[in-house]
Chains A and B, each alone.
Chain A
């Protein structure tokens, strides 16, 4: 009788501990997953895109680079992005922002991106590399039906030359920290 009484609180606390561990797990999982993704990026790099955790050693914060595809107004330009991963990654999308100023129909002037797979269409099957490749292709094929930058969307259709010059005006290589 006594034993069972004594045992009961212990088992409860054990459950609590287990619960706590489960709650703590996702962050751990995210880090692990990101490490694996990094490994993948490193062993099979995709041309024109690269990404790496930020220099402060926080695995949930990455920096990425996209080179503008050749047959687009962005050819020859390099764009830096930042990735911020939630602790429940990959079950929630990362927050991706252009750090390099870019003139693009789906990117606003503070670098925020309108891309469905970074919002409601996100699934855990996506990864950094696919996101980067999507963003790279978005440079060549903007989604002009839902622009963040209306002027850019218009110019893209009407005046590619002006668009190109606006792109060059806006672009400015980041001084690296």
Chain B
């Protein structure tokens, strides 16, 4: 007999005392009460009488006086007698007073026998007793010497169990099962839990001297595989915990099995079926209780270890890269992909997991907490897999196509699930979920489920998993959407994913809100040029169209973009110039695109090996490449629009140039037939034959109209605010181009047509008139020239190139001959063109007067006003050692012409020399413009600055070189070698006239405008409110100034700041107010 009975632990005794003192009631007791007599009066039970109970108590006490050995023998006989008499005579027992006492004694003895037999060891060396237990715990083959005590035990058990029948007088009866359960609990808490935590601590401690840890470390010590150690350590923790628990449970079930066997005998004796069932039920309940006990008392540390082990095993099974897999694989992060069936590592892990889960289940660690843990792990596995396998995978790469083909045969058989999605990502993911994820879930859950009849993972569960995984994929793609849009059209595949996953309104909302946020942080800030924003916008339009043809999503994200673009003043101009990009530029852009694509392909490691010739030399030349006009034009006339045979270097150069400064994509789209195809029938909402009709999306707005095509241009134009501003900008850009040198206006006409379709004929009447003006002036020109030929006879003005007043000048040539061409503009229809006053060279003035005259005779009562600064001239300069031919503006031509005035510096016997002041007096031209023109000529190597404000003609290059060596200042260096600096200078010069025109035109206009704005501000602060914050001023201005208020808040602030410094305004409390005079 174990010593537990003889010496009950002090803890238990203490507890009992405490319990009694609190509740004043009898608790279950393993041994009979020694001195209960004092208790009975106190309890005041209605049962029995007080007086009698005293004698019973004395009897009771007497009965317990003998030693343990006496007791066992005597009790045996007593019980045997009583039970026998009970069994054979189950009548109401003698109602005598003594009988009650006897019953109680008999019960207590029986109780003692039973509990002594199943009592648990309580020694501190309990772990040893686990080891020595097996001989006892071999349940059925009980050893010979215990047979006798077995019999005794079963008899006692019968008494204890059927106490109410057999010993009706015994007042203190107990449920033996409950007692056992309680004992087990106490034992578990007292001995097993410290052991378990010991396992965790010892193994968790890095320095722990445990042999198993040593063994585990022996493998990994040599290398740097600390991670491996980590896993090993945790699995050791788990395994030793499991072993400890197994031993403990063996001990507990031993007692239980004895009880159950006892019940079994009783049942055999009475042959009652319900009793057997009851016994089974009791045993099951006990088992359940024990499991719950173990499961709930498992420490956090243990669960953490279990988690580590589970994560490791399941990620291997699911094909995830574990960081501690091995030295060879750890170098590059490998995308997770489902493991193949013959993957040894996965198979081994699967085997290991199965064993582990079964063990865990057996020891009761697979309870609710384990299931929660497993669910969490699987959840994170799904996220990890989706993010790992599909982040950034937008194209059909070789790996995904492999999984696609692998998936195809399984998926295709289950057509009901795949929602006509052909995206390889989705197919791969569904396959993974079905064949790996759900399989693992099934395997684990079926091992831990208590009810084997129902499958833990049903088909609907698999579908739920799949929809969850698709949700994760959608979240991933939503997060990536901005990059997807940027990578359009290479990212089409990713869009397919997204399209088939954003099926709910919530996800659509998530998409739009997320994307809007990304827009704010990544695009709509001052760091992005308007061109970039617009280019991205186009990509976004196309992406979202592909994503959602109904355009509802686009309409949700657009407002912030549009609002921001409205603040960008140059947005309209960028769009208009983009629309008007020439054929050459379009082709360049297209080539650049192809080039970029090819470059991208060659960059991606998985791309096919056919990448073009090496492209390194392109980079150095990118940027200052300039298309030579005539040769490009000849190429333009070739019928094939795509010139394939250009070397890649040129392509790259085009790309760098064309994409850098113009929104050529628009022109590109303009020529795209799919873009221009507009729904011919706008009003046939109810086309009964339209089989592809789908209802409007639920999140569509009230006056939603289904768009028929992508219509990038339309979207863009409508995004840029009112059509008035757009048309205004368009006409001013077109005006600039019409006044340029181009001979034909095909592109302009096409864009005009497009805009007409959008805005209506009337709105664009001005542009029509402008184009007609230019065409008409060609005719008028010819007519006037004919008149002049008739009048002057000898002068032969031949067909001229298309220049406005084209002037040819020779510094040396005596004979003057110039060819002119004028463009007559109808003042009312053109945008405001400022008139810049200056004196043209006399020959030109004479010609102008004569032309005016001719015009007035041709068209009676009409008067010409010359806009001298808008012209262009080709100037031929004959210098001493060279001839320079330059296309320039009329201002520049006039300035250089002033240097050749014969009577000014001839006598000087040196190169012509002029100062800015002289030129100002002579030309009456704005000084700024004079300086600009001079700088232009200095850049051309024709003039040289000798002193501040004084310039001389560089007659010979040698002299310029000499001057450079002597003076050596910056200007000379700029002049230095025309051949080298030519390209650069020419481009800058070519760009200057128009800029300069608009600049000078603006300055006067701007002044006027500012004066008017000041009136507004004054009026506002006088009348509307005496003081106003900046935002309100800005808002009022935007609302009230006709044609819109173009200034941003900053500009307005600057303007008001000027007024504050001028003393007109003051700022009080962040509000502006007028200074009272």
Tell me the smallest distance from the CB of A3 to a CB of chain B, in Å: 14
Whether the Cβ atoms of A53 and B1024 lie closer than 8 Å is yes
- Whether a CB of chain A sits under 8 angstroms from the CB of B1032 is yes
- Rounded to whole angstroms, the CA-CA distance of A51 and B1019 in the bound complex is 6
Which B residues touch A36, using CB under 8 A?
1042
The A interface, classified by DSSP as helix, strand, loop or mixed, is: mixed
CB-based contact B1023/A35 at 8 Å = no
Report the nearest B residue to A78, measured CB to CB.
B1022
Complex CA–CA separation, A50 to B1035 (angstroms): 20
| Interface positions of B from 507 to 542, Cβ below 8 Å from A | none
Q: Is the CB of B1025 within 8 A of A177?
A: yes
Tell me which residues across on chain B come within 8 A of A39, comparing CB atoms.
1041-1042
Is the CB–CB distance between A50 and B1028 below 8 Å? Answer: no
Q: Is the CB of A50 within 8 A of B1042?
A: no
Report whether A52 and B1019 are in contact in the complex, using a CB–CB cutoff of 8 Å.
Answer: yes
The 3 closest A-B pairs by CB, nearest first: A176-B1026, A52-B1023, A63-B1023
Within 8 Å CB of A80, what residues of B? 1023
Report which B residues bind A (CB closer than 8 A).
Answer: 1012, 1015-1016, 1018-1020, 1022-1028, 1032, 1035-1036, 1039-1042
Q: Which residues of B contact A63 (CB under 8 A)?
A: 1023-1024
Q: Which single member of A42, A43, A55 contacts B1024 (CB below 8 Å)? A: A55
- Give the distance in Å from the alpha carbon of A85 to the alpha carbon of B1020 in the complex: 18
| A45 in the interface (beta carbon within 8 A) | yes
B-side contacts of A35, CB under 8 Å: 1040, 1042
On whether A65 and B1022 interact (CB within 8 A), knowing A57-B1036, A57-B1039, A176-B1027, the answer reads yes
How far in angstroms is the closest Cβ of chain A from B644? 54
Contact indicator A50/B1032 (Cβ below 8 Å): no
Closest chain A residue to B1025, Cβ basis:
A55
Instruction: Give A52 to B1015 CA distance when docked, in angstroms.
Output: 10
Q: Which residues of B contact A51 (CB under 8 A)?
A: 1019, 1023
Given A55-B1036, A57-B1035, A176-B1025: A43 and B1012 interface contact (C-beta under 8 Å): yes
List 22 interface pairs A-B (beta carbons < 8 Å), by A numbering. A36-B1042, A38-B1040, A42-B1016, A45-B1015, A45-B1019, A50-B1019, A50-B1022, A51-B1019, A52-B1016, A53-B1024, A53-B1040, A54-B1023, A55-B1020, A55-B1036, A57-B1036, A59-B1040, A63-B1023, A63-B1024, A64-B1023, A80-B1023, A176-B1026, A177-B1025
Q: How far is the CB of B901 from chain A (nearest CB, A)?
A: 43
B1015 to chain A minimum Cβ distance, whole angstroms, is: 4
Closest to A36 in B: B1042
Select which of A41, A59, A176 is within 8 A of B1019 by beta carbon.
A41
**Which residues from A are CB-within-8-Å of B1018?**
50
Q: A34 — nearest CB in chain B belongs to which residue?
A: B1040
- Nearest residue (CB) in A for B1033 is A55
Which residue from chain B places its CB closest to the CB of A174 in the assembled complex?
A: B1026
Q: Nearest chain-A residue to B1008 (Cβ)?
A: A43
Kindly list chain B residues whose C-beta atoms are within 8 Å of the C-beta of A57: 1035-1036, 1039
- Tell me if A62 is interfacial: C-beta within 8 Å of chain B: yes
| CB <8 Å contact, B1024 and A52 | yes
A43, A52, A59, A176, most chain B CB atoms within 10 A: A52
Q: A64 to chain B: which residues have CB within 8 Å?
A: 1023
Is there contact, CB below 8 Å, between B1020 and A52? yes
Residue of B nearest to A38 (CB): B1040
Residue of B1012, B1019, B1022, B1027 contacting most chain A CB atoms (<10 Å): B1019
Min C-beta distance of B546 to chain A, whole Å: 36
Give chain A nearest CB distance to B1021 CB in angstroms: 8
Contact B1022 A52, beta carbon cutoff 8 Å: yes
Near B by CB (< 8 A), chain A positions 54-80 give 54-55, 57, 59, 62-65, 80
| Bound-state Cα–Cα, A36 to B1019, Å | 15
Residues of chain A at interface, number, CB under 8 A: 23
Q: Min CB distance, A106 to chain B, in Å? A: 22
Query: In the docked arrangement, what's the CA distance between A45 and B1014, Å?
Result: 12
Q: CA A176 – CA B1039 in complex, angstroms?
A: 23
**A175 to chain B: closest residue by CB:** B1026
Q: Are B1032 and A43 in contact (CB under 8 A)?
A: no
Name the contact of A55 in the complex, choosing from B1015, B1016, B1028 (C-beta under 8 A): B1028
| Closest A residue to B1019 using CB positions | A52
- Main secondary structure, interface of B, reads helix
* B1025 and A42 contact, CB distance less than 8 A: no
CB of A50 to closest CB in B, whole Å = 5
User: In chain A, what residue has the closest Cβ to B1014?
Assistant: A42
Q: Are B1012 and A42 in contact (CB under 8 A)?
A: yes
Distance, CA A51 to CA B627, complexed state (A): 57
- CB-based contact B1015/A42 at 8 Å: yes
Query: How many angstroms from the CA of A42 to the CA of B1020 in the assembled complex?
Result: 10
Name A44's closest neighbour in chain B (CB-CB). B1015
B residues less than 8 Å from A53 (CB atoms):
1024, 1036, 1040
Q: What is the CB-to-nearest-CB distance from A12 to chain B, in angstroms, rounded to a whole number?
A: 16
Nearest CB on B from A169, distance (A): 23
How far, in angstroms, from A139 to B1026 measured CA to CA in the complex? 24
A1-49 residues at the B interface, CB under 8 angstroms: 35-36, 38-39, 41-43, 45
Within 8 A of B (CB), among A131-154: none
User: Which A-chain residue is minimally distant from B1027 (CB atoms)?
Assistant: A176
In the assembled complex, the CB of A64 is this many whole angstroms from the nearest CB of chain B, namely 6
B1039 CB to nearest A CB, Å = 6
On chain A, the residues within 8 Å of B1025 by CB distance are: 54-55, 176-177
Task: Give chain A nearest CB distance to B708 CB in angstroms.
Answer: 22
> A41-B1015, A65-B1022 known; 18 other A-B pairs, CB under 8 Å?
A35-B1042, A38-B1019, A41-B1019, A42-B1012, A42-B1019, A50-B1022, A51-B1023, A52-B1016, A52-B1019, A52-B1020, A52-B1022, A54-B1024, A55-B1032, A57-B1035, A59-B1040, A62-B1023, A80-B1023, A176-B1026
- Min CB distance B1034 to A, Å, is 12
Name the residue on A nearest B1035 (C-beta).
A57
Least Cβ–Cβ distance between B417 and chain A, in angstroms: 45
CB-CB under 8 A from B1028, the residues of chain A are 55
Task: Name the residue of chain A whose CB is nearest to the CB of B1016.
Answer: A42
Compute how far the CA of A59 lies from the CA of B1026 in the bound complex, rounded to whole angstroms. 18
The residues of B that contact A50 with a CB separation of less than 8 Å are 1018-1019, 1022-1023
A74 CB → nearest B CB, Å:
17
Complex CA gap A53/B1020 in Å reads 7
Q: How far is the CB of A90 from chain B (nearest CB, A)?
A: 17
Closest A residue to B1028 using CB positions: A55
A177 proximity list for chain B (CB < 8 A):
1025
- Cβ-defined contact, A43 with B1015, below 8 A: yes
A55 to B1032 CA separation, bound complex (whole angstroms): 8
Query: Which chain A positions have C-beta within 8 A of B1042?
Result: 35-36, 39
In the complex, what residue of chain A is closest to B1039 when comparing beta carbons?
Answer: A57
Bound state CA distance, A53 and B1038, in angstroms? 13
Which B residues are CB-close (under 8 A) to A62?
Answer: 1023
Which B-chain residue is minimally distant from A81 (CB atoms)? B1023
CB distance from B1055 to the nearest CB of A (A): 15
Cα A63 to Cα B1023 in complex, Å, equals 5
Chain A positions within 8 Å of B1036 at CB level: 53, 55, 57
Bound-complex Cα distance A42 to B1045 (A): 14
* B1039 CB contacts on chain A under 8 angstroms: 57, 59
* Nearest CB of chain A from residue B1041's CB, rounded to whole Å: 8
Closest beta carbon of chain B to A171's beta carbon, Å: 17
Complex formed: what's the CA distance from A45 to B1012 in Å? 10
| A42: chain B residues within 8 A (beta carbon) | 1012, 1015-1016, 1019
Alpha-carbon gap, A161 to B1025, bound state (A): 34
Closest Cβ–Cβ distance, residue B973 to chain A (whole Å): 50
In the complex, the answer to whether B1023 meets A65 with C-beta atoms within 8 Å is yes
Q: For A43, list chain B residues within 8 Å (CB).
A: 1012, 1015
Q: What are the residues of chain A within 8 A of B1022 when measuring CB–CB?
A: 50, 52, 65
Report Cα–Cα, A103/B1036, bound state, in Å.
33
CB distance from B1075 to the nearest CB of A (A): 15
B1041 and chain A: residue at smallest CB distance = A39
Bound Cα distance from A176 to B1025, whole angstroms:
7
* A11→B1040 CA distance, assembly (Å): 38
Q: What are the residues of chain A within 8 A of B1023 when measuring CB–CB? A: 50-52, 54, 62-65, 80
